[in-house]
């Protein structure tokens, strides 16, 4: 079990088990809602995420399928929820310990929308995980 929180500690949460995916998204929604160049996402079954301080969450529906939850006080981006898949997405940036468990990402998605290159040699999809494969510089290497 690992513990984590927003910056002001108004919302804390624990996750149990292993995430169903560990990937980096470069899409414009992830970039703008997180305020970062990309969003390192860990996908969990929602029952694996135990949240304390839910009254401090503000929800924003960022697309048809997904909503984002922020701390009302400090603005930290905390969760992405996808109700149709009963999924809650968190990010390693919020964890207080055991960060080593999340270093082995499996792929990048929406790499075609990136603002910086990431030269880690990992699998990179132009769009979602069914899209064309790109190299670290963004050149199509497989369709
Ligand atoms: Zn906060
Ligand atoms: Zn995204």
Looking at the CA of 43, name the nearest ligand.
2
Nearest ligand atom owner, CA of 5: 1
Q: Quickly state the pLDDT bin for 100 (edges 50, 70, 90).
A: confident
In-domain check, residue 51:
yes
CATH of the domain at 75: 3.90.1590.10
Q: Which ligand number lies closest to the CA of residue 110?
A: 2
Predicted local confidence at residue 86, as pLDDT: 97
For 25-38, what is each residue's pLDDT tens digit? 999 999 999 999 99
Q: How many structural domains comprise the chain?
A: 1
Taking the centre of ligand 1 as the mean of its atom positions, its distance from the CA of residue 107, in whole angstroms, is 29
In a domain, 142, yes or no: no
Return the ligand number nearest the Cα of 32: 2
> Which residues, 6 or more positions from 56, have their beta carbon under 8 angstroms from its beta carbon?
6, 10, 11, 71, 72, 73
Q: How far apart are CA 104 and CA 64, in angstroms?
A: 30
17-76 residue pLDDT tens: 999 999 999 999 999 999 999 999 999 999 999 999 999 999 999 999 999 999 999 999
136 CA distance to ligand 2 centroid (A)? Answer: 18
Segments forming the whole domain that contains residue 46: 2-133
Amino acid 139: pLDDT? 95
Query: Looking at the domain assignment, is residue 14 inside a domain?
Result: yes
Residue 135, pLDDT > 80, answer yes
């Amino acid at each position: 079990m690992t513990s984590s929180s927003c910056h002001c500690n108004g919302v804390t949460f624990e996750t149990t088990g292993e995430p169903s995916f560990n990937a980096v998204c470069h899409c414009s929604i992830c970039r703008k809602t997180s305020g970062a160049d990309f969003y390192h996402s860990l996908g969990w079954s929602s029952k694996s995420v135990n949240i304390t301080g839910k009254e401090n969450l503000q929800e924003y529906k960022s697309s048809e399928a997904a909503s984002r939850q922020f701390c009302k006080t400090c603005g930290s981006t905390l969760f992405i929820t996808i109700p149709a898949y009963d999924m809650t997405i968190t990010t390693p940036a919020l964890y207080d310990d055991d960060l080593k468990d999340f270093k082995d990402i499996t792929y990048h998605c929406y790499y075609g929308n990136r603002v910086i290159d990431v030269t880690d040699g990992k699998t990179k999809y132009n769009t979602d995980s069914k899209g064309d494969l790109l190299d670290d510089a963004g050149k199509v290497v497989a369709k």
